[in-house]
Amino acid sequence: MGKTTGFLEYERKQGPSLAPGERIGNFDEFHYPLPPDGQRSQAARCMECGVPFCQSGMELGGMTSGCPLHNLIPEWNDLVFRGNWEQALARLHKTNNFPEFTARVCPAPCEAACTCSLNGEAVSIKENERSIIETGYERGYVRPQPPAVRTGKRVAVVGSGPAGLAAADQLNRRGHTVVVYERSDRIGGLLMYGIPNMKLEKQVIDRRVKRMQDEGVQFVTGADIGGNTRAEQILEAYDSVVLACGASNPRDLNLPGRDAKGIHFAVDFLASTTKSLLDTGLAEGTYVSAKDKNVLVIGGGDTGNDCVATAVRHGCRSVLQLEMMPKPPAARAAGNAWPEWPRVLKTDYGQEEAAAVFGADPRLYQTTVKEFIAGEDGALQAAVLVRLEPERDAATGRIVMKPVPGSEYRVETELVLIAAGFLGCQNYVAEAFGVETDARTNVKTAQGRYRTNVDKVFAAGDMRRGQSLVVWAIREGREAAREVDEALMGYTNLA
């Protein structure tokens, strides 16, 4: 695939990005593509490897290796190398409904499993994917393709995140009439309000939603099923229902002083900024602001990094990001062999920006909060931090992080953002439809299946599997759509 000796002739190269000091002045995307010829050279690096682990989507060592969507990566790399952009887009769309989303926000497990990365640098798969879809839009290859025949079946999709949108897109292609219900004021779910604009500009979502509307998908915003809209109405009006409401219960911290004013969940902080940005360009000032505040972010994942980047753009006085676990190594450890996901140190865009503004990486490893301290007015003033050390639990044999006695110290902070992950779906939605949930409050289905205990009700995405990647959400939406179609028609031809 690609040029047979391309991986020997070309070094990995990515498109330019604005320097941290330049990009923090706004919330725009700051990464730009290579010119077409440069992208073709990068596609030429795709090896003619016997087993393309990049498209495997396996679980190795408890983490994803390769693309869960099984994208036909070697095929569309070869087509890009040969300049056949339209066919490359067709092959990309065959497995991925929304490459413009994944090319921006996916952590690229495909690249971690690339054979080139075994002894060098991976093929720039993620950037090649973005070039294919953006070239497709620029050249008019992405056109509305409504189904020629309607089946007469009606399907409701509750939730317009990546899983819901993927399910809706697939079911509409099959010819079913699909209506997507979203409780927020805009379509996109996690993509719209959970991911900052600088990672995914919202016109990218609107562009795809417009195409889906042109193909016949209907969208209803402000519809909170189980809240202002009864679940019984939906069940009566549709032949099938797909629940794709996400894992939107944020994990809280049960600590002294938790009720102090100035402690927020990360998702609320990010969503308030995005909504204000879209509504008024941040002019109305109703968002949770980090301006002139000492910010403490609790959590070291992607959401924590997004909080750091957003706080810097607000004009915070300082920012610290707490990571409970030890600092990862710079290179793969002996027990973390390819093609497993590399558990190595990664400095993301938010940390780069904080370092540029404040002179140091904002992360503190093996550290957590012991207590929050508020003033007489109830407003947050400080947090007491404590160092952690790994110990092996005698009962389970697992390594756990334990506080180090006497290591406590105080830091001044007026804004704390909890980015500790999510616990599962919100109970009121599951209760409204009567679907069973498991011990982790995810909607319960049979292994590898999407049908719930309630007749004609299916579940997909984070609501079913728990907090995960956008690529997994799209895959679940596609597979749920296939199961729904088979239930409605007695067979399915959906991929």
Alpha helices in 218-301 (DSSP H): 231-237, 266-280
Locus of tokens 């695939």: 1
Write out pLDDT tens, residues 148-172: 999 999 999 999 999 999 999 999 9
The kind and range of the H/E element at 297 are strand 294-298
Token digits for 312? 């810097």
pLDDT computed for residue 440 by the predictor = 87
Write out pLDDT tens, residues 271-324: 999 999 999 999 988 899 999 999 999 998 999 999 999 999 999 999 999 999
Write out pLDDT tens, residues 226-246: 999 999 999 999 999 999 999
Token digits for 207? 């562009």
Say if residue 64's pLDDT is above 80: yes
pLDDT computed for residue 2 by the predictor = 65
155 within 8 A of 241, measured Cβ to Cβ: yes
Domains located in the chain, CATH noted = 6-138 (1.10.1060.10), 154-248+424-489 (3.50.50.60), 263-418 (3.50.50.60)
Say if residue 45's pLDDT is above 90: yes
pLDDT computed for residue 62 by the predictor = 87
Distance CA 126, CA 351 (A): 21
One-letter amino acid for residue 495 of the chain? A
Write out pLDDT tens, residues 435-476: 999 988 999 999 999 999 999 999 999 999 999 999 999 999
Q: What is the pTM of this model?
A: 0.96
